[in-house]
Structures are given as C-alpha cells and as structure tokens.
Amino acid sequence: MVFFVYFIFMDNLIEVKAQLKELGNNLRRARVTRCVTLESLSEKANLNIRTLQRIEAGQMNVLITTVIRLQQGLDCPWHELLPTDSQQK
C-alpha cells in the first residue's frame, strides 16, 4: 500500500516538474520573441534575475501572482505562458 501511494506521488511530481519546465520554456520564448532581456523583465516584474533564471529553467515552483507579474511585464496573453496538454505529449 505504501509503495502504491509513493508511486502515485512520484507520478504527480514528475507531471508537475514537466509543467514547470514547459512554463519556463514558454516564458523564455515569449521574452526572447519580444527582445526583452532578463534584466529588463526582472525590473518590470519586480523579481530577482536569479529567480527569473530558475523559473525559465523549470527549477522553481511558481505562484500564480508571480506568473501574473511576468505576464504583465511581457504584455503577453495567458495562453502564451501556460503549459497545455498538447505541449506535454
């Protein structure tokens, strides 16, 4: 029973990590497409550059309020940042 619960937990954790990676890829793509530097976006979103680098690398769990600040800093639509089911397959 414990092994089964652990397996479900690990499966969900892998899915979350994949979603964070895709969010980071989408964020980097949106930033580069708009010719926005890490420094400029970090100022607009009021985030440390290192934090922004970690988000783009998919290494950091991100609060929705942080995603809102990034979305506003890039002036881009939600669908450009958020992972979709088709991106994960």
- Sorted by where each begins, the domain ranges of the chain are 15-88
pLDDT above 70 for 2: no
Amino acid identity, residue 52? L
In tens, the pLDDT along 71-88 reads 999 999 999 999 887 544
Predicted confidence at residue 12, as pLDDT, reads 81
Quick one: CATH architecture of 15-88? Orthogonal Bundle (1.10)
User: What average pLDDT does the segment 13-27 reach?
Assistant: 93
- Using CA atoms, how far residue 38 sits from 10, 35, 47, 58, 61, in Å, is 32, 10, 10, 15, 18
